[in-house]
Chains A and B, each alone.
Chain A
Amino acid sequence: MRKSKPSYIRKEYAWAYLFVAAPVLGFLIFGVAPLLYSAWLSFTSWDLVTPPEFVGFDNYIEVFHDEKVYKSLFNTVFMMLGIPIGMIVALLLAIMMNRPLKGISFLRTIYYLPVISPIIAVSLLWQWILNQDFGLLNQTMWSWFGIEGPNWLGDANWIKPSMILMGVWGGVGGTMVLYLAGLQSISSSYYEAAEVDGASAFQKLRLITIPLLTNIHFFVIVMGVIGAFQSFSQIYVLAGDGGPEYSAATVVFYIFENAFKYFNMGYASSVAWVLGIIIFIVTLLQFRLSKKWVYND
């Protein structure tokens, strides 16, 4: 088999390599090289002005003693509460949307609209809605129910729920579409059989619908967690200084501040690596655990 390949095959190889050359180059230039560079940077102290100085593990040691790292990590994880809330709402919506109603595609479009809207515009819009004195939310609560609303964005206890509220509103349409696709792939024979056995609507939901959608639950959770770990833009707009008592800052926001506000390039890189490793481990863990609960047929 060590004979050289016929020339037309070698020619085809050459073409194939040419076809994949661009992404491979891109992968090396914009993926691998920055990754290596960033790893090296994380062991240096560098303000972009004076030459970088190798400091060994100092940055990493500092990361573990840095209160703001813990705080921003806690904020980031706390805001992941929006994932299960969004999933429940999206699933209920999808089940309702799965009925043959008139104008259903129009309704779907409405729920999907926030998903495609620029996050900056959405954040600005919510900034106005959540305004303590004149915002739509507090105004409505006051005039309808006589409830005095909190200072959503100015109170350390309320800014994270505000972010979750905004996130659920903005993301529920996307999750709903995924669930809708999943629901349409469930064979109706399951439900017919359950009906023969006299199952209630809730039993059908709990015993058929929810279990048969596990691959979608899994996808939504994994992507949601990765996305939440990387959230930045809405924090930048709604809490430009990290919020009251730094209570809204996410890890990426902290990295951004260190790198592009204080020019601590080395330290920012080590925080980024710690975050990257956390994301990697959490994702890996989710895949491991998925074997216990995700059905694949």
Chain B
Amino acid sequence: MQQKRITNLWVALILCIGSIIMLAPFVWTISTSLKDQRNVFEIPPKWIPDPATFKNYVTAWNDSPLLSGFMNSMIIVVFVLVIGIFVSTMAAYAFAKIEFPFKDAIFLSLLGTMMIPFSVVMIPQFIGFSSINWTDTLLPLIVPGLFGNIVVIFFLRQYLAGGLPNELVEAAKLDGSGFFRTFWTIALPVAKPAIAAQAALSFMGIWNDFMGPLIYLSSPQKQTIQVLIASMQSQYMGSSNYPVILAASIISMVPVILVFFFCQRYFIESMAISGLKG
């Protein structure tokens, strides 16, 4: 018993040192973002900014359309999450609980899309969207997401197949519940935790997405937050103004960190589950 406690103590110590390494870059970033530009290049580095100032955040916020970047990212997230996940849940329910001809073939071909690397389809997608004048709008980033996402469908299908008893579906049918109503009143509530998990994960994915927005959006007012801070880089790194660019990166992290803290349980669980069964 004694030995076990000593081991635990060592383990805790190692994990704490590790967590310092994991956190240090974040803390250092926050510290830099609060520094006066003159004090940024101090040697040796100071962890506690003196004087501390929030003016870099103000500069970052005022000098570039960060607010519109926020709004653009938000618009994409809301549409894709609400409609995309609803559509995915409908498909997942059909794949999990209904028998229909060619079901497996359809499901497998959808799974096949996961094999297609984005780099292969991005060029034709770009050409297609630009031919209907959708470039420099949010539409190319929203519309494909409205058709559902196969990873979400796969996850929800697994969940419904195991979590929703057939008897329940049959009973609802016998009670005269229509197809859509059965889905709405029986399947949807059962799938709620899984939907929450997928919504949280999708939020991250969309918020952090960079390549798609980079390809489609050119004018600063249309850009998402990620493209915006990446383009601020050339402006501020050139003048070695690290504090402003780091302040902007921290601003861009706030929503994901908030979502993460509120949905943490769902995240880590669904990461683990989709990892193991995917």
Contact = CB atoms under 8 A, between A and B. Distances in A.
Interface string A89-111: 00001001101011000011111
A226 to B, nearest CB: 8
Contact of B276 (A107, A110, A216): A216
Given A12-B100, A118-B208, A38 B121 contact: yes
A36 B147 CA distance: 20
Interface string B31-70: 0100000001101110000000000000000000000000
Given A31-B116, A31-B121, A276-B116, A23 B24 contact: no
Nearest to A19: B94
Contacts of A216: 275-276
B189 interface: no
B210 A120 contact: yes
A96 B275 contact: no
A269 B98 contact: no
B87 interface: yes
A220 B109 CA distance: 24
Contact of B87 (A22, A124, A259, A269): A22
Contacts of A16: 94, 98, 100, 103
B260 interface: yes
Nearest to A123: B230
B91 A272 contact: no
A23 B45 contact: no
A117 B22 CA distance: 12
Interface stretch (A56-64, A190-198, A202-210, A232-240): A232-240
B128 interface: yes
Interface string B12-36: 1011101101111110110010000
A177 B272 contact: yes
B93 A265 contact: no
Contacts of A109: 264
Residue of A26, A216, A230 ringed by the most chain B CB atoms within 10 A: A26
Interface residues of A, number: 91
Interface in A27-71: 27, 29-31, 33-35, 37-38, 41, 48
B124 A38 contact: yes
Given A27-B109, A121-B249, A124-B246, A236 B29 contact: no
B124 A41 contact: yes
Nearest to A238: B233
Interface in A104-153: 107-114, 116-121, 124-129, 133-134, 136, 139-140, 143
B119 A276 contact: yes
B211 A233 contact: yes
A219 B242 contact: no
Nearest to A284: B115
Interface in A236-294: 236-237, 240, 251-252, 255-256, 259-260, 265, 268-269, 272-273, 275-276, 279-280, 283
13 contacts: A96-B11, A107-B15, A111-B18, A112-B268, A113-B22, A118-B253, A127-B233, A128-B246, A133-B41, A134-B41, A143-B44, A174-B271, A260-B215
The 4 closest A-B pairs by CB, nearest first: A26-B147, A181-B272, A121-B249, A34-B124
